[in-house]
Amino acid sequence: MATTGNTKKLFLDSRYKVEGTDADFLIELPVDVDCTRTSSFFLSSCSFANTYQTVTTFNNMLYFFLIMSGGVPGGGNPNTLFMVQIPTGTYTPQTLAPVLQTAFGPINTVTWQPASGTYNIEFQQPGVLPSQYVIPNYQDIDLWFNFYHPDVVAPAGISYVPGVSKMQSINALLNMPVRYPAGEWHSFQTGVIDLSPLREVYLHCSLASNRTLHVNGARDCIARIPIDVGYGEVVAYRHLGPTDALSSSDVHFRTIRFQLRDWAGNLAPTGSFVVIELCFLDSDPYAA
């Protein structure tokens, strides 16, 4: 621990972890650290490589329907809910288009429209009337499922769970309209596409237990770190003041656990080591 005046610094590196991964690791310090009851700390700097993928195991499910009952619930004809897993990876709008076309099946075309930043998706008539394709906005997937239940057939081997948020899905990535124009069942235009995998990650620390509150329920987040560089480049977060200092939840410690999580609380593996600098203040900067 480096000491400057009444400020102490910890220089930490996930390559020294005693357990875990680079996104969830425990570090054991070479000596015990003792703080006063008024000690506070803040994240001074953090760096890691931006290796976040566009499609991960958290958001790789695509949902769409083929409605065969003429739009009438209980029509007797089996409606189909398609649930297709998109391969994980880093995509551009151009490279994602053929992957989506394969996922939607052989009777469609997916065209990237760079001028508008959207995809145009065209389905051919499946040959059985009346029939309608539906690519819902992520908020409407359960609504469509419940509206046509029990006449909805889900794919074998994949369990559909109503009520669980579909916010992390390919449908959200496609930014589908919440409602479709009347009569538009075979030609779809997505919303503006944003393939940024993550706009930010959140650094969590065991020393901040019950010191903060994230809307996803987490209570140990110490910093929001913007992902403001391209894929493969180094994210270099730096904070130069104690305005975000938190009182330490541990007065005496030798181990610290860190986690990098996304906005939904999922672990956000970096694929690289993480370097962290913590600053400790001997007194509370907010004290009178």
CA distances, 267 to each of 3, 21, 58, 112, 271 (Å)? 32, 10, 10, 31, 12
Rounded mean pLDDT, 230-253 = 85
Residue type, position 65, single letter = F
| Segment 163-199, tens digit of pLDDT | 788 888 999 999 988 765 444 567 888 999 988 878 8
DSSP state of 183: T
Q: Are 12 and 276 in contact (CB under 8 A)?
A: yes
- How far apart (Å, rounded) are the C-alpha atoms in residues 8 and 240? 14
Instruction: Break the chain into its structural domains and give their ranges.
Output: 2-52+198-281, 61-189
Q: Is residue 31 very low, low, confident or very high in pLDDT (cuts 50, 70, 90)?
A: very high
Sheet containing strand 108-113, edge to edge, reads 108-113, 118-123, 187-189
With a cut of 60, say whether residue 5 has pLDDT above it. Answer: no
Token readout for 33 is 């650290």
- How far apart (Å, rounded) are the C-alpha atoms in residues 185 and 278? 55
With a cut of 80, say whether residue 124 has pLDDT above it. Answer: no
Determine the distance from the C-alpha atom of residue 261 to the mean position of all C-alpha atoms in its chain, rounded to a whole number.
8
Q: Is residue 101 very low, low, confident or very high in pLDDT (cuts 50, 70, 90)?
A: very high
Q: How many residues belong to the chain? A: 288
> Is this model's pTM higher than 0.85 or not?
no
Q: What percent of the chain has pLDDT over 70?
A: 87
Q: Are 186 and 9 in contact (CB under 8 A)?
A: no
pLDDT of residue 30: 93
Q: Are 91 and 103 in contact (CB under 8 A)?
A: no
With a cut of 60, say whether residue 69 has pLDDT above it. Answer: no
| φ, ψ for residue 9, nearest 5 deg | -125, 140
Determine the distance from the C-alpha atom of residue 7 to the mean position of all C-alpha atoms in its chain, rounded to a whole number.
35
Q: Which residue has the tokens 């081997």?
A: 157
Token readout for 63 is 């949902």
* β partners of residue 41: 246, 280
Q: Which class would CATH give 2-52+198-281?
A: mainly beta
pLDDT of residue 286: 46
Rounded mean pLDDT, 24-36 = 91
DSSP state of 39: -
